[in-house]
Amino acid sequence: MTGNPLGVNHVLGLNETGGPLEPWLVRGAIGKIERHLGRLAGRAAALEFGSGSGSYWLCQRCQSVVSVEHNRQWADRVTELLAGVRLAERHRMVVAALGPEYERAVAQIEPESLDLVLVDGRRRVRCVKSSAGLVRAGGLLVLDNSERHYYGAAHELLAGWPAESFRNSLWQTTVWRRPG
């Protein structure tokens, strides 16, 4: 699919080449995630902290996607847009206020049940901590803007996981694979 079926380029963001909507991650990380999800042939379960163009992209490739969002109006907009392109049945939005309930919003998800966790919202170190145990062996945990010094604790939390970092001229995205 090409172009922007949601009609909101200025809100959700179209990639620089005018191709399909994608997560706002470093391009190399998107490729790594795409290959991982491709091997799962549409059966993947994903969680994302933060929602938007990544929600659309994930719903196209995964059987189920849970998004944790702190902004009710934005969450409603993303949910409405996904329904408009017939992806709502694959998506569940969880709205949680900023604070401890944001990262605890995933407490009902079974341990080691997710193929992908994407951390690109608020309270990122806490979200990494609360979601690392949800990733199944061989699954990916992705942290965007991972070059920021205040996300160093996230790198420490995942020190035993093989990692690959991808950079562009502005920022870095790190992808960890859960061992096992």
| Structural domains of the chain sorted by starting position, each given as residue range(s) with its CATH number in brackets | 9-177 (3.40.50.150)
Taking CA atoms, 74 is separated from 22, 84, 94, in Å, by 17, 15, 12
Question: In this predicted structure, what is the pLDDT of residue 24?
Answer: 85
Question: In this predicted structure, what is the pLDDT of residue 20?
Answer: 57
Q: Which portions of the chain are predicted below pLDDT 70?
A: 1-20
Label residue 69 exposed, middle or buried (CB < 10 Å: 0-12, 13-18, 19+): buried
Question: In this predicted structure, what is the pLDDT of residue 57?
Answer: 94
**155 φ, ψ to 5°?**
-60, -40
Question: In this predicted structure, what is the pLDDT of residue 170?
Answer: 87
The Cα–Cα gap between 179 and 71 comes to 34
Question: In this predicted structure, what is the pLDDT of residue 11?
Answer: 42
Q: What is the model's pTM? A: 0.88
Is 142 in contact with 115 (CB distance < 8 Å)? no
Question: In this predicted structure, what is the pLDDT of residue 8?
Answer: 41
